[in-house]
Copies of this chain bind each other. A is one copy, B any other.
Amino acid sequence: MSYDNLIEVTGRVNDLLNAGSVLSWDARTMMPKGGAETRSKQLATLAVAARNLLCSDETKRALDGAASDVANKADDSPEARIVAQVREAIDYHERIPTELLRRKTELGSSAHEVWAEAREKADFSLFAPALTTMVDINREMAQAIGFEDHPYDALMYRFEPGTTNAGLAKLFARLREGMIPLVRAIGEAEKPRSDFLFRDYPVDGQMEFALNMAKKIGYDTDRGRLDTTVHPFEVSFTRNDVRITTRVNRNYMPMSLFGALHEAGHAMYEQGVDPAYTRTPLATDLISLYAVGGVSFGAHESQSRLWENHVGRSRAFWNNHMDDIRDAYPGTLDDVSEEEFYRAVNRSEPSFVRVEADELTYDFHVMVRCELEAKMVDGSLDVADLPEAWNATMKEYLGVDVPDDGKEGVLQDVHWSSGQIGTFCNYTIGNIMAAQLFDTATAKNPGIQTALDGGDYTPLRTWLTDNVAQHGRRFSRDELLENATGRALDPEPYLAHLTRKYTDIYSLAAA
């Protein structure tokens, strides 16, 4: 049957993409420095091989036959969706010249070392040539892919289909409207103490505690592992091997812990995809050419932010685990109450670094990046002028004076080094989705909140598996949201959550 042939050949596309993911994981966790140059060629070859196999006559023949095989299936059946998605992906990739893909992938890998050095030395000029090439390649890609309104729309399509620059502007405006009053009020309120977060927390102990908490919320280490990297990430090589990393600062313990909870949230999405979808297009992003089961990068981020913020930074979580963390660091937290700890890990203050930003100010970091990316992509901002624009926009949105271009400045994020432009919106979309999903889950199922209050994460995880993870890429992000919550992307539960939480913690006057 042609449909089976389609499953077989797309299974091989999935294998090639998963191989690329293993090579990327290795490059960021294990590889000696000598390996960087040829590794980038290997990654490029895998991406091109996957793309070529997807667009091969073999796949097209199988696809044409499969279309007849599934003609009497429902439009949203897994089979019909697979056929439609393969067709769409072939159409998408045939618009992008192979050479462009190869250059992008090669540069995306080799630029990582350059970026790491530039970041370390806080010297933007070292990275500027690679970034210029990267922006040019992305502009070429936007032209090849096509767009109606703004070239940035074409780039965001890879990661968050349906998102437009104009739509983002509206969403960001609504968020600012709700958040800025909170940020201002917090700036004038008394700060909770947080001195104890900066005490001496041994590195090995942090890794052990972070992994224990990730397992506690449901991360399955029989199908995963935790390592350390400069920039934390999650990556899957099918649902049965889903790895996470975190980073450790001996004198700032929350970094390793919340990094691990965040990445575990991502990981549980992949670990929860229907096993029947393994190696199929419903566990393969054939547009972005990543072998993932998550339906969009924003949907993925919703799961990491939900577990990190709605669970890990909740009062209930610390009521349940304060003794665990005291036991993990004997003598270090004896003078700290549950409530003090809860408030400390929710302290909000404008800062320089996105991955360390608190829940409330995080989205401003996203807005800065989306705005500057869109301008680089439409040509209204030169790469050479990026640091200046960065610093000015950070001042405007967060009121901070960026100290330099390195770890606390324009070079802080790994994304551009890997050739990704158009992904930052995913973080904010993830924040919004997380609140929307958590709100529905707990409102519709009071037992979920009761379980969380008692330190039992199974009911919430089950609801998320049933409503999000198991479906893999079968439904679009908005279909998924509508099925789960009754409506498309909606920022109101997120704003309500932030208002409720910070009004309480900082004893603000109710709006």
Contacts and interface: CB of A to CB of B under 8 A. Distances in A.
Nearest to A35: B241
Contacts of A223: 32, 34-35
Interface of A is mostly: helix
Interface in A2-57: 11-12, 15-16, 18-20, 22-23, 26, 30-35, 37-39, 41-42, 44-46, 48-49, 53
A203 B265 CA distance: 35
A121 interface: no
A20 B16 CA distance: 10
A279 interface: yes
A30 B225 contact: yes
Contacts of A48: 12
A351 interface: no
Contacts of A20: 19
A35 B238 contact: yes
A27 to B, nearest CB: 9
B26 A22 contact: yes
Given A15-B46, A41-B279, A241 B32 contact: yes
B224 A38 contact: no
A222 interface: yes
A6 to B, nearest CB: 16
A221 interface: yes
Interface string A102-131: 000000000000000000000000000000
A440 to B, nearest CB: 31
Interface in A412-467: none
Nearest to A23: B22
A49 B241 contact: no
A35 B41 CA distance: 25
Counting contact residues on chain A (CB < 8 A from B), the size range is 35 or more
Contacts of A243: 32
Determine which residue in A31, A45, A224, A243 has the highest number of CB atoms from chain B within 10 A of its CB, and name it: A45
A19 B18 contact: no
A317 interface: no
A39 B241 CA distance: 9
A101 to B, nearest CB: 14
Contacts of A31: 241
A15 B23 CA distance: 11
B19 A237 contact: no
A37 B225 contact: no
A108 to B, nearest CB: 15
B30 A18 contact: no
A278 interface: yes
Interface centre among A42, A220, A224 (most CB of B within 10 A): A42
Contacts of A42: 15, 18-19, 22, 237
Contacts of A221: 32
A152 B223 CA distance: 40
A41 B237 CA distance: 11
Interface of A: 11-12, 15-16, 18-20, 22-23, 26, 30-35, 37-39, 41-42, 44-46, 48-49, 53, 220-225, 237-238, 240-241, 243, 278-279
Given A19-B19, A34-B223, 8 more contacts: A15-B44, A19-B23, A32-B243, A34-B220, A35-B241, A38-B241, A39-B237, A49-B49
16 contacts: A12-B45, A15-B46, A16-B46, A18-B42, A19-B19, A19-B20, A19-B22, A19-B23, A32-B222, A32-B225, A34-B241, A35-B241, A38-B241, A39-B237, A39-B241, A49-B49
